Each structure stands twice: as C-alpha cells, then as structure tokens.
Structure 1
Amino acid sequence: MSPEVFAIVLCGAALHAGWNALVRVGLDRLLAVTLIQIGGGVLALGLLPLVSVPGAAAWPWLALSAVLHVGYNVFLARAYASGDFGQVYPIARGSAPLIVALVGLMALGDQPSLVGYSGVVLLSGGIWWMAVRGAGVTRLPRTGLVSALITSVFIASYTLSDGLGARANHDAIGYILWLFALNGLCMGLLLWAMRGRRTLAAIAGHYRVGLAGGAMSMAAYGATIWAMSQAPIAMVAALRESSVLFALAISALFLGERLSRQRLVAGLIILIGVVVLRLG
C-alpha cells in the first residue's frame, strides 16, 4: 500500500469515528443514522451534475450496495438499542475485516502479502480485545451480540460490493456520489414506511447535524472506496477499522470517558496492526 493511499484511508477512518460521535444528537439510533444518511444523500445529489452516470457494469453493484446499506443501518440501530456502545461498535467493525480478507482470498484472488494479512489479524484482534475486555461491562446481551455480528456481515458485504463496483465503474468518485444519493433515498423511504411522514419532519430540525455527519460519512467512505481501487480490498477494509482507535481518542478528549488499562492495551494492539499494514 502506497504512503498516499495509507494516509487517505487513515483520514477516512478519523472522519468515520467523527460522524459516529455525531449520532449522539438526542434522537433514537435509527433516526440519528437515517438523518446522517439523508444528509449525505442531499449533498451527493447536489454534486451529481459534476460526474458522469455510472456505466452499465456498475449499476448491479450500486443496487446491491443500496440494499446492503439499508440492512446495515437497521441492524446497527438494533444492536445499539440492546447493547453497550463500547462493545457493539468494536464487534461490528472488528469482525468485518476478517470476513473481507477471507472472501477476498478465496473468491476474488485479492492476495495481500503475509505481512499484510498479519496486520489484518492484529487490527481485528485489537478491536475484539477492546470489545470483550475494554468496554467496562462484563457481558453483552445476546440480542446485542447477534445484531452486532449481523451488522459486521453487512459491513463486509457492502465493502466487497463497493470495492468491486468502483473498479467496474473506473470512476471511484462518481460511484461514491451515486451510491450516497441512492442510500439517502432508500433510508428516507424506509423511515417513512416504518414510522410515517411526521418522523421525517421531526428529524428536519436537526438538519445541520445531518449535513455535517453526511459530509463526514461521504468523505470517509469515499476515501475507502477510492483506496480499494488502488490497493487490495482486504488491507483497505482492515485499515479503515482503525476508526475504533480514533473513537477511543475522541471519547477520552471530548466526551470525558475514562481510558481503562484494557482499552489502552487494545489501542496499542490496533496501533501495531496499523503499522504492520503500512509495512505490508
């Protein structure tokens, strides 16, 4: 992985942690996630005239990804509703890189070096350590665990889908903008169907958070999709999950949360994994 791709993915990971912090706006989890998805969709819609319409080869991946992102948002909201944030987020994010790496190796012929795979394992292991030992709770409820693991499957699935879609489109930026426009539309329609038109009006009062979070989300995932067109998907997917490390720093510096010894150990393992990925 080149230094430029490495730096861009790390910036995207930091932005990903940032917009997740914005989910705490006083709304329930599904409303907050949908608000940010709609915000990203509105911004993407305004930028669509600047890019070309995706090629025929990219549309099946865009359609598949839109469905997968809806599933991801729904199960992420369920996981947060039944489990502690400090465990749900790392489990959901930490499982996905291993799934991506295995599928990439077996089905896609995407083969990073042995050092690269070592970085994937270290990074995922550190995230799991934080989930199991560093969250400050002893046991994640079964419903939360199942929802978090299902979320990780959706993360791995849309990561692979979008990596292949961006490559098929030969224009990562155009793919990103069309993807976010579709995601915003799908999540808005889903919320309308589930909770009615009044709910959409209720979240409109938080539009500034939605636009800010949407911009951060689009930039973060856009950096990831672009990087997957430049480097092995498994390595990019794993490095992206260093967002857990940035989330740790945000929680300590801005949210006043205490850093336990276990969280610091997990953070160190994640940091070592990031360094090994860079070497790979």
Structure 2
Amino acid sequence: MDAASGLSGGVVALTLGAAVLHAAWNAVAHGVRDRLVGFALMGVADVAAGGVAVLVLGWPPAGAWPYVIASAGLHVVYVLLLWASYELGDFSQAYPLARGSAPWLVAVIVLVLGHRMPWVQAAGIVVITAGLLGLAFVGGVRRGRAVIGAALATGVAIAGYTVVDAAAVAVTPVPVYAAWLFLLQGPVLPVIALVRRKGKLVEQARGLWAAGIGGGLVSIAAYGLVLVAQTSGATAAIAALRECSIVIGALIGAAFLGEDLGRRRAIAAAVVAAGIVLVSL
C-alpha cells in the first residue's frame, strides 16, 4: 500500500492540485448561508455525475464491491460528522482538527499493516500534521468536548476511507470505482434535507444552486485526482499532502476574501510547507 521510495513529481502535482481544488470549494462554501442545503446540493451533484458515469463505464469487478460499499459508507459517516461539526458551531476549529488528525492515523494504519515508508517521508507526515493541528488551535480550544469529539471522529472516518480507497484502486480502474462511490454516497444528505425541510428544500435552495452543484463537481474532480495519485501506493504521504488544502484555503482567504492570516497561522502554514518539502524528497 505504501511505496518504500519517495513520491514522484507527478504524484505530488496531482495531490497538490486536488488540494487546491478542495480549498477553492471550501472558499465558496464558506459563504453558503445554509450548510445543510449546501451539502444536499453537493450530494445531488454526486448522484448525477456518478449515475451518468456508471451508465457509460458499467460495473466494477466483483472483488471491488467490498471496497466500494465500505468506502461509500465511510464517506457518508464523514459527511454526517462534518455536518454535525457545522451544527455544533466553531467549524473553523473543527474542520482543521478533523483534516489534520487523519494523516497520522493513516500512517499508523499503514505501518500496522506492515508497509514501509522512507524515514524522510514519515518525518514530513509528522511535520504536516503538526502544522495542520496548529491551525486548528490558533485561537485556543473553543466550544469544548462536543466539537473536538466530532472533529476527531471525522478524522477517523477520513483515515478509514483513505486506506480502503488505496486498497481499492489496486484492483479496480479509478473511473469505475469513483463513479460507483459517488453514486452510492450521494443520496444521503439530499434525503436528510428533504425530510428536515418538509417540502421547502427547493425554495430554500434558491440562490445556492451554483455554489452547491458547482462545489460538488469540483469536489468530485479533486477526489478523482487523489484516487489517481493513490495508485502510486504512497497512501500515508498522499493523505498528508491532500490535507494541505486547509493551508491553501487560509491563504486564499487572506489573498482574496480579506481574511486576516495572522502570525500564528502564517507560522503553521510555513510548518506545513516544510513538511511538503520533506514528503516530496
């Protein structure tokens, strides 16, 4: 699952490209006034894109179904926990904590499974994780155990589907696997939104369609790039590089949205950048 050599330039470029796309979507999502509707519209995009793709690409190999079902289930858990983090409040802390806790969990799982990684790469993963967790606690610990618990549980879900996906792309063509994954995971939030909003979902989605559907399509593209990168076998390193989207998002906010980066955030971003260099060696 993990290569015992450094990452190629192509894999680094694919993963960082995915991180940029993910950060761009998050910058758009930051302004969505109704998070549940936004998530529901992303689910609609997943179902639509996945449905069209499976009609064209057909069925995955029989041996791929356990991975497809497991990953779709873990993605659903991830989205539900992410939504719970929004509902609990202080998403600015919960999201970096969730994404920052996942890479070291992936690294631990990979090592427990007996796969090797270069020590420089391992050091880079530790440094990136430290920088990401630093971003989570820039303003101190807020909101208490509920937010932190939801965030850490989200990190476990991310680590889980990352490891499953890494195993899946070794036995399944990425386009087929991705198509079924998005088709199966997509309906959950739209159904929840329909039930909770009691027939008013379409009305409440007015003005959010472009951000929701567009964000969903960008997320599909971003995750597709990650799956392609996963075929290299460098699971833990890719998991760490992918989460650099948090730092990229902070930089986008500072450059284009008028948000204050601040000295502590800048230091955390620099730590993550140092980790990227180590992972890429």
TM (norm. structure 1) is: 0.91
Give the Cα separation in 2 of the matches to 1:215 and 1:175. 16
String of CA shifts for 1:126-153, please: whole Å, max 9, x gaps: 0011111x2x355343211111111111
Q: After alignment, is 74-83 or 147-156 more displaced?
A: 74-83
Name the % identity. 36
1:120 and 2:122 aligned: no
Q: Tell me the equivalent position of 1:238.
A: 240
Give the Cα separation in 2 of the matches to 1:265 and 1:140. 24
Q: Tell me the equivalent position of 1:163.
A: 166
String of CA shifts for 1:157-200, please: whole Å, max 9, x gaps: 1111122122221x012211221121212332343345444335
String of CA shifts for 1:52-109, please: whole Å, max 9, x gaps: 31111111111112221111111111112223232112100000001111011102x3
Given candidates 216, 222, 225, the residue that maps to 2:224 is 222
Work out whether residues 40 and 215 of structure 1, in 8 Å CA contact, stay in contact via their aligned partners in 2: yes
Give the Cα separation in 2 of the matches to 1:71 and 1:40. 16
Given candidates 174, 178, 181, the residue that maps to 1:179 is 181
Give the Cα separation in 2 of the matches to 1:195 and 1:70. 20
Q: After alignment, is 209-218 or 32-41 more displaced?
A: 32-41
Work out whether residues 72 and 181 of structure 2, in 8 Å CA contact, stay in contact via their aligned partners in 1: yes
1:83-94 pair list within 5 angstroms = 83-94=89-100
Work out whether residues 82 and 141 of structure 1, in 8 Å CA contact, stay in contact via their aligned partners in 2: no
Work out whether residues 110 and 234 of structure 1, in 8 Å CA contact, stay in contact via their aligned partners in 2: no
Give the Cα separation in 1 of the matches to 2:88 and 2:185. 25
Give the Cα separation in 2 of the matches to 1:147 and 1:33. 17
Work out whether residues 83 and 145 of structure 1, in 8 Å CA contact, stay in contact via their aligned partners in 2: no
1:36-51 pair list within 5 angstroms = 36-51=42-57
Unaligned runs of 5+ residues in structure 2 are: 1-6
Over 3 Å counting, the alpha-carbon distance change for 1:266 and 1:241 in structure 2 is same
The amino acid that maps onto 1:262 is: R
Give the Cα separation in 2 of the matches to 1:85 and 1:255. 17
Work out whether residues 90 and 142 of structure 2, in 8 Å CA contact, stay in contact via their aligned partners in 1: no
The amino acid that maps onto 1:127 is: L
Over 3 Å counting, the alpha-carbon distance change for 1:110 and 1:228 in structure 2 is farther
Over 3 Å counting, the alpha-carbon distance change for 1:5 and 1:42 in structure 2 is same
The amino acid that maps onto 1:235 is: A
The amino acid that maps onto 2:152 is: L
State the 1:17 CA deviation: 1.1
Unaligned runs of 5+ residues in structure 1 are: none
How many matched pairs?
Answer: 275
TM (norm. structure 2) is: 0.91
Work out whether residues 24 and 32 of structure 1, in 8 Å CA contact, stay in contact via their aligned partners in 2: no
Over 3 Å counting, the alpha-carbon distance change for 1:55 and 1:186 in structure 2 is farther
The amino acid that maps onto 2:125 is: V
The amino acid that maps onto 1:257 is: E
Over 3 Å counting, the alpha-carbon distance change for 1:37 and 1:19 in structure 2 is farther
1:6 and 2:8 aligned: no
Give the Cα separation in 2 of the matches to 1:73 and 1:196. 21
Q: After alignment, is 187-196 or 70-79 more displaced?
A: 187-196
The amino acid that maps onto 2:160 is: S
Q: Tell me the equivalent position of 1:268.
A: 270
Give the Cα separation in 1 of the matches to 2:156 and 2:198. 29
State the 1:41 CA deviation: 2.5
Q: Tell me the equivalent position of 2:69.
A: 63
Work out whether residues 80 and 144 of structure 1, in 8 Å CA contact, stay in contact via their aligned partners in 2: no
Counterpart of 1:223 in 2: which secondary structure? Answer: helix
String of CA shifts for 1:248-267, please: whole Å, max 9, x gaps: 11111222110111000000
Given candidates 137, 141, 146, the residue that maps to 1:143 is 146
Work out whether residues 166 and 233 of structure 2, in 8 Å CA contact, stay in contact via their aligned partners in 1: no
Given candidates 76, 85, 90, the residue that maps to 1:79 is 85
State the 1:120 CA deviation: 0.6
